[in-house]
Amino acid sequence: MLARLAAVLLAALAAGCATLPPLDGRVESRAMADTAATRLGRGVAPVVAVHPGRSGVHPLSLPIEAFAARVLLADAADRTLDVQYYLWHDDETGTLMLEALWRAAARGVRVRLLLDDITASGQDARFAALDAHPNVEVRLYNPFVHRDARALDFIADFERVNRRMHNKSFTADNQVAIVGGRNVGNEYYGAGEGVEFTDLDVVAVGPVVRDVSAAFDLYWNSPSAYPIASLVPPPADGQAMLEAAFAATRADPDAAAYREALRDSPQVRELVGGRLPFEWTAVRVVRDEPGKTLDTTDDNSLLLLATLLPAIGEPRTSSCRASAGPRSSRRSPGAACACASSPIRWRRPTWGRSTPGTPSAARRCCARACASTNSSRWRRRRRAARRKASREAAPAACTRRPSRSTTSTFSSGRSISTRAQRASTPRWAS
């Protein structure tokens, strides 16, 4: 046991002596600005011109739709692809996405791929092979010194290697961008037999795309982004290795079924036909600073929270907590609204024509300005209403008790907390 501990300590000491290579030979690059003449530029220009100063966003809620949007953008790009991810798995969707970048590079598109090095474990060879293409550059963010013994880096340099890059963006020709919660892997896009994650992305056009590109450039040119060529030598047969992997994935029955589902998806047909309905609004990109990775002063201004909180804003009015639907036999079947400020006040609900106990009625209660009172008379009325409700049968249309509350924040600054439905749908919601 002591011998093993001594070996670990010696390895940690040796790891502490190892360092990352210098960045002297690295060349800075920026997003291309003159892309209006590309196919994507010509396609989005008419709709962007109709909404000056606004950006168009469309949610990609379905996994298969989110995957197809990325592949379609890669196939439509004429000049450049800027791709940034935290995780990129070695599975069907990871290989299909890599093949889409390879096809774009073969057409002459400049491909910049920025990956957090946490994802490159066991995949150094194939990312290095992709980087060997003359139109592709792969950079690893905050890389590990020991490529095959990463635990040594956690022992010797934990403070640095524990700070990762979680950004996720896919930008084509500086005209269309996809940002959101999905990395690259089967579980994000409804492929394979394993666990499926529920995430949300948006595809965006308009001025916000330039902000996404600026955020990409900031990380791409940061001191923590290392060209993979400085860390991993390219394999001698890299192109053949990639093409064999692409062919094997195309021949795989599961991957073939997934590609067939892509072709049959109505959402994908909307994407291909350019019929996506965009929501036009003012959009702000929120990110943290890459300087957080090498910071030794615990500067909180470099973290995401420092920019996220000002973007969200602080509530300027009291927050209302509403509950809808029947309670237990000891509680009122109606909805109660408690609007909290300082000091805490109870506000009497005012109903419209909606049936008490429905979610719409609860939202209306919160939306209205209710009379505020702390009087004992109001408390007596509340108790009397509860006693009366316990004697009456619950309405047949409402039979399930709502679950825990969730909060939505609106642009007005008001934070409204409503009771969320349980996973099993109540009868009044069906």
Q: Write the DSSP string, 29-53.
A: ----S--TTSHHHHHHHHHHHHSTT
- The pLDDT of residue 262 is 82
Confidence of residue 147 (pLDDT cuts 50, 70, 90): confident
245 pLDDT exceeds 70?
yes
- The pLDDT of residue 405 is 37
Helices (H), 138-291: 150-156, 158-161, 208-220, 238-251, 253-264, 266-273
Q: What is the β-pairing status of strands 279-281 and 176-180?
A: unpaired
Q: Write the DSSP string, 118-132.
A: GG-TT-HHHHHHHHT
| One-letter amino acid of 74 | A
Which of these ranges, 4-13, 105-114, 324-333, has the smallest mean pLDDT? 324-333
Q: Which residue has the tokens 């989005």?
A: 44
User: CB of 145 within 8 A of CB of 21?
Assistant: no
In angstroms, how far apart are the furthest CA atoms of the chain? 85
Angstrom distances, CA of residue 126 to CA of 69, 129, 226, 235? 24, 5, 16, 8
Single out the residue of 110, 61, 121, 62 nearest to residue 87, CA to CA.
121
Of 396 and 153, the structure prediction assigns the larger pLDDT to: 153
Single out the residue of 283, 274, 63 nearest to residue 184, CA to CA.
63
- The pLDDT of residue 136 is 98
Radius of gyration of the chain (CA): 27
Check whether the bond before 343 is cis (ω within 30° of 0). Answer: yes
- The pLDDT of residue 238 is 92
Q: Which residue has the tokens 């394979």?
A: 192
Render pLDDT for 24-81 as a digit per residue (tens, 0 to 9). 989 999 999 999 999 999 989 999 999 999 999 999 999 999 999 999 999 999 999 9
Check whether the bond before 395 is cis (ω within 30° of 0). Answer: no
Give CA–CA dist 245/404, Å, rounded.
Answer: 47
Render pLDDT for 339-398 as a digit per residue (tens, 0 to 9). 443 343 334 333 333 334 444 443 433 333 333 333 455 456 667 776 776 666 555 444
Burial class (CB in 10 A: 0-12, 13-18, 19+), 265: middle
Phi-psi region of 289 (alpha: psi -120 to 50; beta: other; left: phi over 0): beta
Instruction: Please compute the mean of the pLDDT values over residues 321-335 and round it to a whole number.
Output: 40
- The pLDDT of residue 17 is 61
323 pLDDT exceeds 90?
no
Task: Name all domains of the chain by residue range, CATH numbers in brackets.
Answer: 35-310 (3.30.870.10), 319-423 (no CATH)
Which of these ranges, 220-229, 394-403, 416-425, has the smallest mean pLDDT? 416-425
Give CA–CA dist 413/410, Å, rounded.
Answer: 6
- The pLDDT of residue 254 is 86
> What's the N-to-C CA distance of the chain in angstroms?
63
Contacts 24+ apart (CB under 8 A), 378-381: 378/346, 378/348, 379/346
Give CA–CA dist 71/271, Å, rounded.
Answer: 11
Token duo for residue 85 = 């991810």
Confidence of residue 271 (pLDDT cuts 50, 70, 90): low
What is the number of other CB atoms lying within 10 angstroms of the CB of residue 335? 27
User: CB of 333 within 8 A of CB of 400?
Assistant: no
Give CA–CA dist 227/132, Å, rounded.
Answer: 11
- The pLDDT of residue 350 is 37
User: CB of 389 within 8 A of CB of 357?
Assistant: no
Give CA–CA dist 250/243, Å, rounded.
Answer: 11
HSE-CB of 339 using CA atoms within 13 angstroms = 19
Instruction: Please compute the mean of the pLDDT values over residues 264-286 and round it to a whole number.
Output: 83
User: CB of 167 within 8 A of CB of 84?
Assistant: yes
Q: What is the β-pairing status of strands 415-419 and 405-409?
A: antiparallel
Confidence of residue 274 (pLDDT cuts 50, 70, 90): confident
Q: Which residue has the tokens 């739709």?
A: 65
Token duo for residue 118 = 């946490």
Whole-model pTM? 0.71
Instruction: Please compute the mean of the pLDDT values over residues 329-339 and round it to a whole number.
Output: 39
Of 380 and 128, the structure prediction assigns the larger pLDDT to: 128
Give CA–CA dist 321/365, Å, rounded.
Answer: 10
- The pLDDT of residue 418 is 33
Confidence of residue 14 (pLDDT cuts 50, 70, 90): low
229 pLDDT exceeds 80?
yes
Give CA–CA dist 263/199, Å, rounded.
Answer: 22
Render pLDDT for 154-193 as a digit per residue (tens, 0 to 9). 888 888 888 899 999 999 999 999 999 999 999 999 997 7
* Mean pLDDT of the residues in the chain: 77
404 pLDDT exceeds 50?
no
What is the number of other CB atoms lying within 10 angstroms of the CB of residue 359? 20
- The pLDDT of residue 196 is 84
